[in-house]
């Protein structure tokens, strides 16, 4: 059983590694470490792990979001949360977790968590991922030629629906994802606005609205190479939004 330890604190990672080694469980080894959720996802993508010991409060991407992304991977690892939060703070998601450990982690409690993780299958992890819906993601996951690509939501200029895919236009280029525009709109409603039935634009990237030669309305968007069409239906709400920027 390959274990990945994820924590932004070096001392916390070292302590968990020592505890796992002291348990001396046959076939169990710490095979890697990561400093945050993004590194954890990329590490698992490179060389899959069976169990991830995952902190919650981390920079860049917290443990709850990382667990959500990891549950969608194939194969999906079993996730054990390791956190400094007390039991009351964990109650909201306790029923969905494989297990959780409260720092400082006790050696025998860790043994129980690892044994419990052995019994979880990929399908069970995917169900957990579907049930646990933390705050809006900080990153979008995309597959590019079989490899995983993480794009920070803060770097996204707009989402454009094309056929069964959505094209994510971001500062580094563009990627395709198999998510619906409606789901993205619901998740990121505080950051993106619909300007057309096939397009969501980052609110803080709208520079201005202008008329084109045919009398239509176009949005000038930072990061978009060309103005984007605003549908007649969306013009009033987008215009009102721009007035208050």
What domains are there in the chain, each with its CATH number? 2-131 (3.40.50.2300), 139-243 (2.40.50.1020)
Q: Tokens 């996802």 identify what position?
A: 41
Q: Please provide the average confidence, as pLDDT, over all residues in the chain.
A: 89
Kindly give, in sequence order, each residue whose CB lies less than 8 Å from that of residue 3, ignoring residues fewer than 6 positions away: 20, 28, 29, 30, 31, 32, 49, 50, 51, 52, 53, 114
Average pLDDT over every residue of 166-184: 96
Residue 92: per-residue pLDDT? 40
pTM as predicted: 0.80
Longest dimension (CA), the chain: 74
* pLDDT above 80 for 37: yes
Residue 90: per-residue pLDDT? 58
**Cα(178)–Cα(159) distance, integer angstroms:** 12
Q: Of 155, 46, 53, 142, whose CA–CA distance to 97 is shortest?
A: 53
* pLDDT above 80 for 128: no
Model confidence at 153, in pLDDT bands (50, 70, 90)?
Answer: very high
> 133 vs 105, which has greater pLDDT?
105
Average pLDDT over every residue of 179-201: 96
**Lowest-confidence range among 94-98, 118-122, 182-186?**
94-98
Question: For residues 218 and 212, is the Cβ–Cβ distance under 8 A?
Answer: yes
Kindly give, in sequence order, each residue whose CB lies less than 8 Å from that of residue 81, ignoring residues fewer than 6 positions away: 54, 55, 56, 63, 67, 90, 97, 99, 100, 101
* pLDDT above 80 for 122: no
Q: What pairs with residue 150 in β-bridges?
A: 141
> 222 vs 121, which has greater pLDDT?
222
């Amino acid at each position: 059983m390959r274990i990945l330890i994820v924590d932004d604190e070096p001392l916390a990672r070292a302590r968990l590694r020592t505890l796992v080694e002291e348990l001396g469980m046959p076939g169990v080894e710490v095979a890697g470490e990561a400093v945050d959720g993004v590194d954890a996802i990329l590490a698992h993508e490179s060389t899959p792990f069976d169990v991830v010991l995952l902190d919650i409060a981390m920079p860049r991407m917290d443990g709850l979001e990382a667990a959500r992304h990891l549950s969608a991977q194939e194969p999906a690892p079993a996730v054990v949360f390791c956190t400094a939060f007390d039991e009351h703070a964990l109650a909201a998601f306790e029923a969905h977790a494989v297990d959780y450990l409260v720092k400082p982690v006790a050696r025998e409690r860790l043994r129980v968590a690892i044994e419990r993780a052995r019994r979880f299958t990929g399908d069970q992890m995917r169900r957990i991922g579907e049930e646990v819906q933390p705050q809006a993601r900080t990153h979008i996951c995309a597959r590019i030629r079989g490899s995983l690509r993480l794009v920070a939501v803060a770097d996204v200029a707009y989402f454009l629906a094309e056929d069964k895919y959505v094209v994510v236009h971001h500062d580094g280029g563009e990627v395709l994802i198999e998510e619906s525009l409606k789901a993205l709109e619901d998740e990121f409603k505080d950051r993106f606005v619909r300007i057309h039935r096939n397009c969501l634009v980052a609110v803080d990237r709208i520079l201005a609205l202008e008329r084109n030669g045919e009398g239509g309305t176009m949005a000038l968007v930072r990061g978009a190479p060309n103005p984007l069409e605003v549908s007649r239906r969306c013009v009033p709400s987008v215009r009102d939004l721009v007035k208050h920027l």
